[in-house]
A and B are shown apart, each in its own frame.
Chain A
């Protein structure tokens, strides 16, 4: 059978009314849990695993996959509306999305996210259908040195996340890296910075840090001056994108999709970089970078597309090699096994109907998602007309309950309070939270891959330059720094010349 035949087989499975129903339930549930802060796809899939016992393998996996990419979409809704990101990817969306909402353009931000995600999802699914096996093979060339180089590049490029002082952004990244090291060292098991608290052995919870430093800090800021200003603009004019805006998002969506697709394939943490990288790229390429951080629509379009493309392509290593790229994919492995299928290189040959059915369902799922969410935008935007004084207690509660439901760990809740205060203090001092969050998610990966690379090379740092991919990536990192510094040097030069004149 050729690829068209396989896709036909896939669609015949995915278009089965029962499977469409479960696909819809999946994306609907995913959207809902994505919207609720804290409860993410991991918790939901874990909770729903028992229910999938009684379903056919295709229906079960289609539904679980739907929850995953549905949640990716739903998460950005909360990030845009109330500045509560539930995942690292939506933290980036929150930067400009929330500013857009504050200016009464929440509808535009949400529509952009929906359309960008749909386009990216479509491309990601096509990649999965046509090139999954060779792409997965290529990704295997990434070992510890390559991942280390990639993360260094990601960190350096992402200084663009800040719209204020570069020095402060750097300090926030490093602080984030250090916070990411709290917990048991994976190499020796030594507990670090845990104050002897066992609950901290597995590290600080990302959701706690994000919810504290974005959500709680924002509430504390809004409480500063309640009479002086309204937090949200009440009059929301039109929800739909005009021609002008449509033109502005096309290029970012395409670039974001490309970046996200590539990074999503890398099982060692590439998907985390996708939205951060896309945001940096858009800011660099924009003609008015000063708009970023104050509601630039490109800052929503790019990262959202990148994120969704990566969500789609991160299925590639799982489906073709049985390798889970992140915790949600590890859960999917569990779901496969519970259905009596061990994911691995043989699934594509032994279970063609299932393999292609899931792929086809992803596209259908993305279509359902966009059909579900475009009408919902009006409803979400209405939600913003709830007075803030009634909305913020709900945000605090949802944050606490959501975080607690992940691991039943009360330290995750204390962490919300701690990071709320820290974030509030630092924001008042002109430091932005997004770089800290980036450092926090990448810190453990940076250390893990550096140390692993050094063990493999037996302590020889030349390994980073001897391997072509890692050398290229480090070269790009150096270039990124040079480009970042050059304009200010040139500017200084000009100033010097001006004075000489």
Chain B
């Protein structure tokens, strides 16, 4: 039975159903209102339901169309490092300051590629730190400390 479905469509549909259900259920906490004064819950409730319905449709459209080609496996190393870098950047930019954050972020994201050696990543990180500091902090006058309060500055 499952083998007859396209797994991609099934998964995509599943995501849409989940997202739609989340928005619709959460919208129930907000006032739906009247046609004259629609409340904050009206549109999300309606659209959430529509999205869930579309999700079922997407899943159903994969019936008898099993995936022919197998997609490449995702690069877990890439995902963890890139997303990790983004979160690290957000969490520490105020505390550590521009220069250290950019350096660490550049090094870590360069390591996301299997082709980059640690030495190359470090060199790239130095280069990018200089470049970004020059463009954003010096050139554009971005209001962010070079070294943040966590470093005793």
Q: What B residues does A425 contact at CB under 8 A?
A: 15
The answer to whether the Cβ of A170 comes within 8 Å of any Cβ in the partner chain is yes
Chain B residues with CB under 8 Å of A174's CB are 20, 47, 50-51, 54
Chain B nearest Cβ from A41, distance in angstroms? 13
Inter-chain contact B51/A223, CB cutoff 8 Å = no
Chain A residue at minimum C-beta to C-beta distance from B59: A167
Query: In the assembled complex, how far is the CB of residue A195 from the closest CB belonging to chain B, in whole angstroms?
Result: 10
CB-based contact B128/A394 at 8 Å: yes
| Chain B contacts with A in 103-150, Cβ cutoff 8 A | 105-106, 109-110, 112-116, 120-121, 124-125, 128, 131-132, 135-136, 140-144
CB B34 to nearest CB in A, in angstroms, measures 6
Within 8 A of A (CB), among B49-67: 50-51, 54-55, 57-58, 61
Q: Taking the complex as formed, is B152 at the interface, i.e. its CB lies under 8 A from any CB of chain A?
A: no
Interface of A is mostly: helix
B37: CB under 8 A from chain A?
A: yes
- 21 CB < 8 A contacts A-B: A33-B140, A36-B135, A39-B136, A168-B12, A174-B47, A178-B23, A181-B47, A187-B38, A193-B44, A223-B75, A223-B79, A224-B75, A390-B116, A392-B113, A400-B105, A420-B86, A428-B71, A429-B8, A431-B12, A451-B43, A455-B37
1/0 per residue, CB under 8 A from B, across A418-455: the answer is 00110011101111000000000000001100110011
Partner of A223, one of B36, B78, B93: B78
In whole angstroms, what is the CA distance A6 to B71 when docked? 63
Query: Of A248-256, A282-290, A409-417, which stretch is located at the interface?
Result: A409-417
CA distance A390 to B117 in the complex (A): 11
Q: Which of B12, B26, B34, B120 contacts A459 (CB 8 A)?
A: B34
A64 to chain B, nearest CB (A): 16
Residue numbers in A under 8 Å from B20 (CB-CB): 174, 178
Report the separation of the CA atoms of residues A411 and B90 in the bound assembly, to the nearest whole angstrom: 7
Indicate if the CB atoms of A224 and B74 lie closer than 8 Å.
yes
Residues of A within 8 A of B83 (CB): 417, 420-421
For A353, list chain B residues within 8 Å (CB): none
Q: Does A450 lie within 8 Å of B43, measured CB to CB? A: yes
Contacting residues, chain B, for A220 (C-beta < 8 A): 74-75, 78-79, 82
- B89: A residues at CB distance < 8 A: 400, 404, 413
Instruction: Report A-chain residues with C-beta under 8 Å of the C-beta of B93.
Output: 404, 410, 413
A119 CA to B115 CA, complexed, in Å: 44
**CB of A192 within 8 Å of the partner chain:** yes
Contacts of A188 in B (CB 8 A): 31, 39-40
Contacts A167-B54, A190-B40; A47 near B82 (Cβ below 8 A): no
Residues of A within 8 A of B113 (CB): 223, 226, 389, 392
Do B26 and A454 touch (CB < 8 A)?
no
A331 within 8 A of B: no
The answer to the question of A372 belonging to the interface, with a C-beta cut-off of 8 Å to chain B, is no
Chain A hits for B97, CB < 8 A:
none
The answer to whether residues A175 and B8 also contact, given A223-B112, A420-B82, A459-B36 and a CB cut-off of 8 A, is: no
Q: Do A416 and B106 touch across chains, with their CB atoms under 8 A apart?
A: no
Q: Known: A224-B74, A430-B12. Is A219-B58 also a contact (CB below 8 A)?
A: no
Ranked nearest first, the 3 interchain pairs of A and B with the lowest CB-CB distance are: A459-B36, A223-B78, A413-B90
Which A residues from 430 to 486 make CB contacts under 8 A with B? 430-431, 446-447, 450-451, 454-455, 458-461
**Which B residues are in CB contact (< 8 Å) with A416?**
86
Q: Evaluate whether A454 and B72 lie within 8 angstroms (CB atoms) in the complex, with A220-B78, A397-B105, A401-B136 already known.
A: no
